[in-house]
Every structure is written in structure tokens, then in C-alpha cells.
Chain A
Amino acid sequence: MEKTIKQWLSRMKQQLGNKVRSMEQNGAQETVMLVEKTELPDVCYFLWHEKKGRLFTMVGNDERDIHGFFALYYVFSFDSFRHFITVKTLIDPLDPTFPSVSVQLPAANWYEREVKDLLGLRPQGHPDPRPLILHGDWPEDLHPLRKDFPLDRHAPRVQSRESFMPYDSEDVTEIPVGPIHAGIIEPGHFRFGAVGDTILHLDARLFFTHRGLEKANEGMPLEKALFLAERICGVCALSHSTAFAQAAERLGGVTIPPRAAYLRTLFLELERLYNHIGDVGNICAGFGFAVGVSQGARLKETLQQLNERVAGHRYLRGIIRLGGIRIDITEREKEDIVRTLSYVKKEFQELVDLLFSHDIAMNRMATTGVLSLEHANQLEVVGVAARASGRSVDIRRDQPYAAYDQVSFHVPVYEVGDVLSRVRIRVDEVLESIAIIEQLMHSLPSGDTFTPLPPLPPYRSAMGWCESPRGETVHWLMVGPDQTVYRYRVRSATYSNWPAVPLAVKGNIVPDFPLINKSFELCYACCDR
């Protein structure tokens, strides 16, 4: 493997020729290519289109106090080599622009708009230059992620620059929905252009509760930053804390003890279970199937009570520690897990049989909200939504972490991409998760649960990733000289998947939107970090 990767990299260097200024290793799994900013679109397109790399994350960083430049990192994942290639470019503060990659690589759309909003680096030729993270009433020349922007600065509000898709025809009705909704859900503004009840176009305006967590994290000691990472989102708390801890551990070159790795895997799967089962129940609310809703809620509650008994927290907070895990489980707790899961499995199977034999439910789910494989690939969709559209990505299998290389499991993939496929993926994954936990219970190694972290090298970056219930979540971390966070970038699964929702709802009817939206089950808090 080592050798093939070397050959593959040197061949790539030849193909790119003098477009690449330098190439260096950053840890065992990552190679950083430094390119001129003018070459950025070409090199990225080559890696994405020719070499079939997935755009994994993209980070903009204010490194002016290190070497006087801003830096952009486009990270591509090559799953077959289990390797990452980062395209890095430096941007002169006197000319804070760069050629946009989004034209050729649509998945870069949001990343580049975010860099423009938060760091003031302007992507030139970007197809959609509207503000994204900061809304239109934020002053255009204030960029909060720059290091010279003080944390306590209060920004004045200005005349809003928000705009939505204009419609010329009188036949198109604009239906604004939100940001405040009738149910207790997070804020998002949806503007439908509909002809009758058929959706022509959807504008989704998100990021209403941007919290500036990445900025707040800068200058924080790592233990405290872990605490904050855990609070990015309520329902994927453990995925976020694990991803953060892995980034720090990779930076320090630490391998966590096997028992800690197994326990992390166990809790990550418990997180997936309560999410997936709750989601299957919630999807039933989209077509008013109340029995499904209440049974899903009941099983989710059973699992959350198990979480509380075993881990001390219903949402599995506070169990990850840098270099390992904070808690251990006893034999009695193992029995409790096995017993509860066999009960849940039986009950869940009943719910699934009921749902899949219900004619109206099946009719509502099938052919609704189809996301095509082509769109899923172009937007680099991840998680359940990707696998339901025939895109086989699962970071647990593709770039294993924790103890996922020690257990065998199957990654379900469906081709159709409708609501029903997304439900089927969740159902299959619930059974896989239970099987994974059974394997872990049989082979749980004994020993320590924690390796202390050495001092981390300053100004080097590392990534941690995790397959959250919604898909892969990537945390990119750079530590400063005083062992505090220098730059922290969270790319959640939701961030990758939101741009796909407007494509999936096109051509469906307005009353089906809640159902389609629920089947993606995107979380606002993961975006509004």
C-alpha cells in the first residue's frame, strides 16, 4: 500500500508538472500540494474529475501573523488509497481574491461563499455571489474570522442585500415559509416558486443562528475546545466530540488504546441507533401516520434511557476525552446493552413491517423527492442521502477510525434516491449497527482507556472525521504555539447535504416538502456553528 501510494503520488506530480510548487507529507495519510492561486481551479478539477477524489472539506485561514498570507486548503479524499490530498494556496492580503473553483466543481459553492463572508477572500467568477453565513444586513467589509476582528466587537446592521430568485411569469406563486415555523424546530427560511402546488424552484435561506463557534474556539485550550465542539449540535454531540478528539490525537501522533477505540465505536453506534430510529418515526409525521410517530418516539426514548444508564447522558455528552474515553463499562452494563438492543430490534422490526406494508405510506414515500446520482456526486452529498441515491460513501469503511477496522459490517446502498430509499437505508443501518455492537460486546479488549497527549506541534493542521448519523463530519484543526486552538473548521454532514435538498424537491408538490425535508433529516445547528 505504502509503495503504491508513493507511485501514485509521483505520477500525479508528473501529470500536474509545474502547476504544483511543492508537495509534502503532513502525517501518514495526508499530502499537501502548494499551488499558485491562478492554478487552483485546474488542479482541483484535475483531482476531482480525473483522479476521482471527493471534496472532503475546504478551509480558509488567516495566517497573516505566521507568514503574512491568507491560506486556502481544498482537501480531497481518495478512499481507495485511504489518503488525502490537500491543495493549499496562499493569498496576498493586498489582493484578497482567488479564482473560483465552484464553476467546475459545484460542491465548492458553499465553502467559497463562506470564505468570502467570514474572511473577506473573494472568489472571482463564482456563479452565486450572494452572502451565505452572514446575512445581507451584516456590513460587507467586516469579516469576523480575521484575526484582527475582536471577539467582542458589535457589528452595526445595514440595509439588507438579501435577494431571492425573481420570477417573471404571473403563473408562479412565491410562497415564503419561515424562518419561524409552527412546530418547535430550528429557523430556516424557504421560498418556493410554485406553479399551482408544483414546486418550480426552492430558495433555502439558512444560517439564521450563526453562533461564531469557530471564532469562539480560537485561543481556547484544547480540553475546553472539546467541550465546545460537543455542543455544536444536540443530536450528533458524540460525533462532533469524537471528530475533534481525533483531530487533536492525529496532530499529536497518538494512538488511543484498543479498549477506548472499541468503546468509542460502541457509543457512536448507539448515537446512530437512537437517531435513525427516531428519524424513521418522524418521517411518518410527514404523511400523518401517527402510529409510526409514537412508536418511533417510544423506541428512541428507550434507547436514550439506555444511553443515560450506560454513559450518564441521554445525548452521550461528556464521555470523550482527548486521547481516549472518560468512562468505562462493566459486565452488568454490557448485559443491559445486549438486553435493551434485542428488545429494540424486535419492536423496531414490527414498526418497519407495519410501515412497509401500509399502502398509503408506501405510496407517499416512493418516487417522492428523488435525488439523482449525478446531482449527489456533483454536490458531494454524504451519509444516508448519498447512499440512498446509489453513491456508496461511508467514512467508517472508507477511512476507518476508532475500531471500525476491527468489525465487519455491510454498507447498504439503494439506487432510486427517493424518500423510501432514504428510509430503507436507515432501517438497514439500524440492523447493521446492532450487529456491530454485538461484535464489539464479544471482543471488547481490556486495558487502559486513555493515552495522554504530548505537546502538539504549532501551526500544523490535522483532520478528524466521523460518520455521524447524518453522514461524514470533518473537523480541521490547527493549534497555535501556546497549545490553544489557532483555527478550527467544522464541516458537518448537513453542510454538504443542504444544497442537494432544493434539487430533490423540484417538480414535487408543496405539501410533500415537509416529508422530503424530514427524509434528509438535516440539522440546522450543525450548519449554524
Chain B
Amino acid sequence: MFLQIAIVILLAPFIQGVIKKTKARMQNRIGPSIWQPYYDVIKFMKKDAVLSHHSSWLSIVTPYIVFVSIVTAGLFIPTYTVNNDWNFIGDVILVVYLFGVARFFTALTALDAGGSFGGMGSSREMALSAIAEPALLLALFAVCLSSGTMKLSDLVVSLLHNGWDWFTPSYGLAFFAMLIVVIAETGRIPVDNPDTHLELTMVHEGMLLEYSGRYLGLMMWAAQIKQLLLLSLFIHLFFPWGIAASGDASQIILSFLLYVAKLVALSMLLAFIETMYAKIRLFKVPKLLGSSMILSLMAILLRVFE
């Protein structure tokens, strides 16, 4: 269990680094080293935080709440092994709502200092998540329906044994539905632009503008962990092969290496999508997420009638 937490926390900046490096190379830039997100986190952790005079206790506790709830969600998502001591406590729905808790506090605290960009960011985030959350749940349901369990480790085991048929239409539909949700939830183009300096266009970054020092570090780190978890979820739902089902040491090492390789490949895909697309108009985002919901619904229907 502690190994699981350590891996989730320590691997997250690496994935961020891989995405940034890939994007830079695809845009004809050299870009910062893939270890840069680690340096950033270390730098922020060393720094003192400056708080607005107008902010309340919320601004201080939110980074911890967000960080803890996302790391907790990490306990329920299989990474390199399906064996997980915490299985009995929670399932997919708990994961989604742990993310929900983090989102709630982030959006609430963005209003705390009274800055205009925080308010704008949180109103946009809440409006979008009202659609993104059901879209994520629906996409998960579409997969869960096949194995009849909501527990992620059981789900992965059942997927391992029965497998997805690559040519099942419901597989393809659920795959694309989930991909859209992963992009939206990680705040990437075409939904949000993580690299922008234009305050007026920000969604997730807009809510972080008032943070500084270690609080900012925690919030950024939490966002990177959330990104890693969503990618892991995506990997295990659609490409579960190779994950260690037993406690055999050699199998675990192999499974871990395979897991990292799949993560890197998927982050490169995300970087590729981000480079190929531009940010769509804010009011078109609900339509994009809506299409993800429709895809999931269709996947569910196909499953039911098969």
C-alpha cells in the first residue's frame, strides 16, 4: 500500500515532464528537461507562501484537502498490481467523488481572495464539471457493465481474463468517450490550455492564480497526480494486459515496467493531440463532453442488447 502511494506521488511529475517534453519537440522547440516538474515541486516546497489579506482559513487548508483527497483516490486505482489492501472500502464511484471533493474545495477557495480570475475560473470549472463528471461516470459504467463489478481491482481482473474484444463496437465507443473525458479532466487542449498566460481564457489555472509557494506546489503536484491516476484508469480499463495478478516479485517488476511504458505512450498521445488541436470556444466544450456522454450511452446500450 505504501509502495502504491509512493509510486503515485513520485511518478506523477515524471509523466508531466514527458508530456511537456513531447509537446516541445513536436513544436520545434527543445523544451525543458523531463525532470523539470520535479525541480519545480522541490522549488515550491522550499518557498514561503504569500497569502492575500482578504483570504480566510480556506486558502490554507484547501491545498492539503485537495492533495490528500487525490492521493486517497490513488489507493483505489490499480497501478502496477491488482492486489490492493483497500479494495473492501471503495469502488469507482468513490474515486470520482474524491476527485469531486478536490474540485469543490479548489473552486470554493478560488473565490476566497476575491480576485476576478479566481471567480471566473471557478464558475467555468463548475459549469464544465457538471457535464464532465456524469460523462466520466457514464464512461466508467460502460466498462463496468461487462464485468458486473464496480470495484476497480475486480474489474481489472475480470478484464484480464475475459478481455475486450478489439472489434466490439461498444469497446470503441467507450474508448473514445473515456479519452475525451481524460483530456477534459486533465485540463488539456482542446478543453483548457495548461500553458497559457492569458488570464481571461483560463479555467483550471485561473483557480490557482492566488496560490504561491508551497501551497501552489501542493496544488500543482495534486493536479499532476490526478492526471497520472486518470491515465492509469484509462490504461487498466482498455489495455490491462501484463498487470501482475499475483505477488510474484519478478512478475511485479515486469508489470511495473510495462505500466510505466504504457503511461509514457499514453502521455505522448495526449501531447500529440494537444499539439494537433487548438483550444475550442468555451461554449463548445459542453458539446464535446456531451458527445462523450452520448458515446458512453451508446456503448452501454450496445452492451445491454448484445
A is bound by B: yes
B189, closest chain A residue (CB): A288
| B279 contacts A by Cβ under 8 Å | yes
Residues of B within 8 A of A512 (CB): 281
Instruction: Tell me which residues across on chain B come within 8 A of A176, comparing CB atoms.
Output: 116
Other-chain contact of B278, A175, A358, A513 (Cβ < 8 Å): A358
With A288-B193, A360-B280 as known contacts, state yes or no: A510 contacts B27, CB within 8 Å.
no
Contact B27 A177, beta carbon cutoff 8 Å = no
Interface contact B27-A288, CB-CB below 8 Å: no
B120 close to A175 (CB less than 8 A)? yes
| Stretch of B54-62, B156-164, B196-204 lying at the A interface | B196-204
CB contact list, B167-206 vs A, under 8 A: 189-190, 193, 195-201
Q: Tell me the bound Cα distance from A293 to B28 in angstroms.
A: 10
Q: List the B side residues contacting A363 at CB < 8 Å.
A: 280-281
Known: A175-B120, A361-B278. A181 touches B199 (CB 8 A): yes
**B residues less than 8 Å from A12 (CB atoms):** none
**Given the complex of chains A and B, what is the CA–CA distance between A204 and B201 in angstroms?**
18
Proximity string of chain B (11-40) to chain A, C-beta cutoff 8 Å, 1 when within and 0 when not: 000000000000100111100000000000
A286 CB–B CB distance under 8 Å: yes
A267-302 toward B: CB 8 Å interface, digit per residue (1/0)?
Answer: 000000000000000001111111101110010000
Q: Which of A175, A291, A509 is the one whose CB lies under 8 Å from B275?
A: A291
In the assembled complex, the CB of B270 is this many whole angstroms from the nearest CB of chain A, namely 13
Does B189 contact A294, Cβ atoms closer than 8 Å? no
Q: CB distance B275 to A285 under 8 Å?
A: no
Q: Are A514 and B278 in contact (CB under 8 A)?
A: no
B200 near A290 (CB under 8 angstroms)?
no
Closest to A175 in B: B116
Interface of chain B residues 114 through 163 with chain A (CB within 8 A): 116, 119-120, 124
Query: What is the bound-complex CA distance between A52 and B81, given in angstroms?
Result: 79
Find the B residue at minimum CB distance from A191: B116
Neighbour of A290 across the interface among B27, B190, B201, CB < 8 A:
B27
B168 shortest CB reach to chain A, Å: 30
Q: How close is B272's CB to chain A, nearest CB, in angstroms?
A: 11
Chain B residues near A294 (CB-CB < 8 A):
27-29
Please judge, given known A-B contacts A288-B278, A294-B28, whether A510 and B189 are in contact too, CB under 8 Å.
no
Contacting residues of chain A (126-156) with chain B, CB-CB under 8 angstroms: none
**Interface positions of A from 151 to 208, Cβ below 8 Å from B:** 173, 175-177, 181-183, 197
The answer for the CA separation of A181 and B283 in the assembled complex, in Å, is 24
Which residue from chain A places its CB closest to the CB of B282 in the assembled complex?
A511
- Which residue on B lies nearest to A509, using beta carbons? B282
B2 at the interface (CB under 8 A from A): no
- Closest chain A residue, CB of each to CB of B194: A288
B277 close to A (CB within 8 Å): yes
Q: A181 to chain B: which residues have CB within 8 Å?
A: 197, 199
CB contact list, B27-74 vs A, under 8 A: 27-29
Please give the distance in Å from B208's CB to the nearest CB on chain A.
11
Given contacts A288-B193, A290-B27, are A510 and B279 in contact (CB under 8 A)?
A: no
B186 to chain A, nearest CB (A): 14
* Chain A residue nearest in CB terms to B23: A290
With A and B bound together, what is the CA distance between A295 and B199 in angstroms?
A: 23
User: Taking the nearest CB of chain B, how far is it from the CB of A367, in angstroms?
Assistant: 10
Pick from A285, A361, A510: contact of B200, CB under 8 Å: A510
Knowing A288-B279, A360-B277, the reply to whether A514 touches B200 (Cβ < 8 A) is yes
State whether B195 touches A287 (Cβ < 8 A): no
User: Are A177 and B279 also in contact (CB < 8 A) when A288-B189, A510-B120 are?
Assistant: no
Q: Smallest distance from the beta carbon of B190 to chain A beta carbons, Å?
A: 6
Closest chain B residue to A360, Cβ basis: B278
Is A177's CB under 8 angstroms from B199's CB? yes
Residues of A within 8 A of B193 (CB): 288
- A364 interfacial contact with B, CB 8 Å: yes
Chain B residues closer than 8 Å to A295, beta-carbon distance: 28
Residue of A287, A295, A509 ringed by the most chain B CB atoms within 10 A: A287
Contact B278 A511 (CB under 8 A): no
Beta-carbon contact of A182 and B198 below 8 Å: yes
A513 pairs with B200, CB closer than 8 A: yes
Residues from chain B with a CB closer than 8 A to the CB of A510 are 120, 200
Closest chain-A Cβ to B191's Cβ sits at a distance in Å of 10
Q: Is the CB of B200 within 8 A of A177?
A: yes
Instruction: Pick from A284, A288, A289, A294 the residue with the most CB of B within 10 Å.
Output: A288
B220 to chain A, nearest CB (A): 16
A419-455 contact mask (Cβ, 8 Å, vs B): 1 or 0: 0000000000000000000000000000000000000
Whether the pair B278, A197 counts as a contact (CB closer than 8 A) is no
Which residue of B has the minimal Cβ distance to A284? B278
A105 to B61, CA, bound (A): 57
Q: Enumerate B236-277 residues with CB–CB distance to A below 8 Å.
A: 274-275, 277
CB A152 to nearest CB in B, in angstroms, measures 37
Residues of chain A contacted by B189 (CB below 8 angstroms) = 288
Among B28, B29, B196, B282, the residue within 8 A (CB) of A288 is B196
Residues of A within 8 A of B116 (CB): 175-177
Q: CB distance B278 to A289 under 8 Å?
A: yes
Question: Pick the contact of A183 from B198, B274, B279, B281 — CB < 8 Å?
Answer: B198
User: In whole angstroms, what is the CA distance A360 to B201 when docked?
Assistant: 16
Interface centre among A177, A285, A509, A511 (most CB of B within 10 A): A511
Q: Which residues of A contact B277 (CB under 8 A)?
A: 360
Q: How close is A521's CB to chain B, nearest CB, in angstroms?
A: 15
Return the chain B residue nearest A518 by Cβ. Answer: B198
Known contacts being A294-B28, A298-B28, is A285 close to B198, with CB within 8 Å? yes
- Among B195, B275, B278, B279, the one with the most A-chain Cβ atoms within 10 Å of its Cβ is B278
A173: B residues at CB distance < 8 A = 119
> Are A288's CB and B195's CB within 8 A?
yes
A-contact 0/1 string along B199-238, CB 8 Å cutoff? 1110000000100000000000000000000000000000
Q: A240 to B288: give the CA distance in the assembly, Å.
A: 48
B278 near A287: Cβ-Cβ < 8 Å: yes
Chain B nearest CB: distance from A286 CB in Å? 7
| Distance from B210 Cβ to chain A, minimum over Cβ atoms (Å) | 12
Interface residues of A in 35-84 (CB under 8 A from B): none
Interface centre among B29, B190, B281 (most CB of A within 10 A): B281
- Residues on the B chain within 8 Å of A298, using CB: 28
- A506 → B minimal CB distance (Å): 15
Residue on B with the closest CB to A176? B116
| Distance in Å: Cβ of A190 to nearest Cβ of chain B | 9
Interface pair A509/B278, CB less than 8 Å apart: no
A183 and B201 alpha carbons, distance in the complex (Å): 13
Chain B residues with CB under 8 Å of A182's CB are 197-199, 209
Please name all residues of chain B whose beta carbon is closer than 8 Å to the beta carbon of A183 when the two chains form the complex.
Answer: 197-198
When each residue 277-303 of chain B gets 1 if its CB lies under 8 Å from chain A and 0 otherwise, what string results?
Answer: 111111100000000000000000000
**Which residues does chain B contribute within 8 Å of A511, judged by CB atoms?**
200-201, 281-282
Nearest chain A CB to B36 CB, angstrom units = 17
Q: How far is the CA of A288 from the CA of B195 in the complex (A)?
A: 8
Cα(A286)–Cα(B209), bound, Å: 19
Q: Please name 5 pairs of A and B residues whose Cβ atoms are closer than 8 Å in the assembled complex, sorted by A.
A: A177-B116, A288-B193, A290-B23, A293-B27, A360-B279
* Across the A-B interface, the 7 shortest Cβ-Cβ residue pairs: A288-B279, A289-B278, A183-B197, A288-B193, A514-B198, A511-B201, A294-B27
Given contacts A175-B116, A181-B199, 17 further A-B contacts (CB under 8 A): A173-B119, A177-B116, A177-B200, A181-B197, A182-B197, A197-B124, A286-B201, A287-B278, A288-B190, A288-B196, A288-B278, A288-B279, A289-B279, A295-B28, A363-B281, A364-B279, A514-B200
Give chain A's interface residues, CB within 8 Å of chain B: 173, 175-177, 181-183, 197, 284-291, 293-295, 298, 358, 360-361, 363-364, 509-514
